[in-house]
Amino acid sequence: DAFLSFQRSYRSRPTHGIGKFKYLLPKEVPKKRKEKVQMKEISAGTEYQFGDVNIQMTSYDLCLVEHFAQYVHRLCNRLSIRVNESYAMPTKTNEVLFMEERGSKMQLDAVLTTHQRVVQIRGLSSTFAPILLEIIQSSQPEGVHLLMKQHTEADFKSRLKSRPELEELLAEMS
Amino acid sequence: SCSSWLPQRVPLQGSHWQSSLLELRTSLPVRAQPKKKKKVDVKKEQAQKERMKKKLKKLEKAAPELIPIEDFITPLKYSESNRVRSLPALSPEESERRVLLLKKWCLFKQKQDEAEKKAIKALVESQQEALKELRLESEELYEAAIRRDEGLFPFEREGPSYTPPLPGYDPPEGKCIDITKVYTQ
């Protein structure tokens, strides 16, 4: 009987764990597979609930917009609103040139960087939406432009790199 | 009056050798043309199409990448330099003052947060009460009020500014150039 049974190690006996050896080998790091960037399903929402809503905050000031995004995220957590994603859109850089008073040359004034953060929420109930809007508006800092809109595929596509070769080939094929 | 250099869109009249507007180069087979040319042409076209399809498949296989965000990449000049700032030592009065200030700030923030929570609660409660009363008044209006508001989104609002715009300010002429780096895959 003892020969047929497997691993009958009594935990109180000194022979418990006899035969184990994997704990002695060095730990194998699992191979990191590159996750494919796929678009998650956009929910349209029901009659009493909004689907995916994007809260986009834009500003020239990075720290301000970052902190405001964190605040909005925490607020949604506290009010048990499901937050799908909280990401940053690519930064836009603008060169501002102005014409000198006496002269025809354009002079460089400043280089401005526009930062944008997006908090995506789902399942916002229709009665609570105006309240949330009111709270966010009351705590909106200076210089931060707020935009709330439904999430669309075009919004997701704007985050991806452009593929001119693919587009060229597709244009040629059709 | 159309300028002469514009390409003629009108189908060429009298050229009944032309099969269609698109394939301007191909025409109805002229008797003098040898047959080999036609086969080689078709084969070449097919081979070209195959190559294009293969290229398309290969490009489509590669997953689309997200544009890297410059905000999260520290520029190299901040990590390479050996400059280290040595802060001056704080006197005990100064550190005491700072700790007390921190405590006062914590209290202030806590009061602010509690006020916000209270405000949200009050808003929700009053809304629920109003809806209850509305329901007692008429079921139809209640149903209409519960539904989601399509005109709510998109919602845009500019942040408040420290000072109002100066009246009669004449800004200098200028322009804005977008120099964002365009990433291609």
Residues A88/A100, Cβ–Cβ less than 8 Å = no
| ipTM confidence | 0.70
pLDDT at A113: 92
| A115 contact residues in B (CB cutoff 8 A) | 71
Quote the number of domains for chain A: 1
> CATH number of the domain that A75 lies in?
3.30.70.600
* Mean pLDDT calculated for residue range A25-49: 82
Q: Residue A62's closest CA among A125, A99, A112, A1?
A: A112
Nearby residues of A128 by Cβ (< 8 Å), 6 or more positions away: A79, B124
A162 and chain B in contact, CB less than 8 A:
yes
Cβ–Cβ contact B134 with A under 8 A: no
Cα B129 from Cα A65, distance rounded (Å): 36
Judge whether A149 lies within some domain.
yes
Average pLDDT, chain B: 81
**In chain B, which residues have their Cβ closer than 8 Å to the Cβ of A106?**
174-175
> Mean pLDDT across the stretch A111-128?
92
Q: What is the pLDDT of residue B4?
A: 55
Q: Is A126 on the interface with B (CB under 8 A)?
A: yes
Residue B84 has pLDDT above 70, yes or no: yes
Interface test with A, best of B69, B74, B184 (most A CBs within 10 A): B69
Residue A75 forms part of a structural domain: yes
Question: Cβ contact (<8 Å) for A95 and B174?
Answer: no
Average pLDDT for B91-118: 96
Nearest chain A Cα distance for residue B31, angstroms = 32
CA A146 – CA A124 distance, rounded (Å): 18
Q: What's the domain range around A95?
A: 53-160
Instruction: Evaluate whether residue A39 is within a structural domain.
Output: no
Collect all residues of chain B within an 8 Å Cβ-Cβ radius of residue A145: 156-159
Distance CA A100, CA B129 (A): 62
The answer as to whether A8 is a domain residue is no
pLDDT exceeds cutoff 60 at A43 = yes
Residue A45 located in a structural domain: no
Mean pLDDT confidence for A30-58: 84
pLDDT score recorded for residue A19? 87
Bridge partners of B176, per DSSP, are A96
Cα separation of A78 and B116, whole Å? 12
CB contact under 8 A, B172 and A99: yes
**Is the minimum CB–CB distance between B172 and chain A shorter than 8 Å?**
yes
Which pLDDT does position B134 carry in this prediction?
A: 93
| Cβ distance of B52 and A173 shorter than 8 Å | yes
Q: What distance, in Å, lies between the first and last C-alpha atoms of chain A?
A: 74
Task: Provide the pLDDT for residue B15.
Answer: 54
pLDDT band at residue A6 under the 50/70/90 scheme: low
**Is the pLDDT higher at B29 or at B143?**
B143
The answer to whether residue A90 is domain-embedded is yes
A90 vs A159: CA distance, rounded Å? 7
**DSSP for B134-175, written as a single string:** HHHH-HHHHHHHHS--TTS-SEEEPPP-SSPPPTT--PPPEE
CB contact under 8 A, A164 and B184: yes
Considering only alpha carbons, which residue of chain B is nearest residue A149? B154
Higher pLDDT, B32 or B12: B32
Chain segment B142-164, per-residue pLDDT in tens: 998 888 888 888 899 998 888 88
**H helical segments located in chain A:** 62-78, 129-138, 153-157, 164-173
Whether the CB of A164 is below 8 Å from some CB of chain B: the reply is yes
Residues 30-59 of B with CB under 8 A from A: 52-53, 55-56, 59
For the ranges A70-79, A90-99, B26-35, B104-113, the lowest mean pLDDT is seen at B26-35
Q: Poorest-confidence range of A39-43, A151-155, B21-25, B163-167? A: B21-25
Q: Which two tokens stand for residue A139?
A: 């705590």
Of the pLDDT bands very low, low, confident and very high (cuts 50, 70, 90), residue A57 is: very high
Q: Is the pLDDT of residue B34 over 60?
A: no
pTM score, two decimals? 0.75
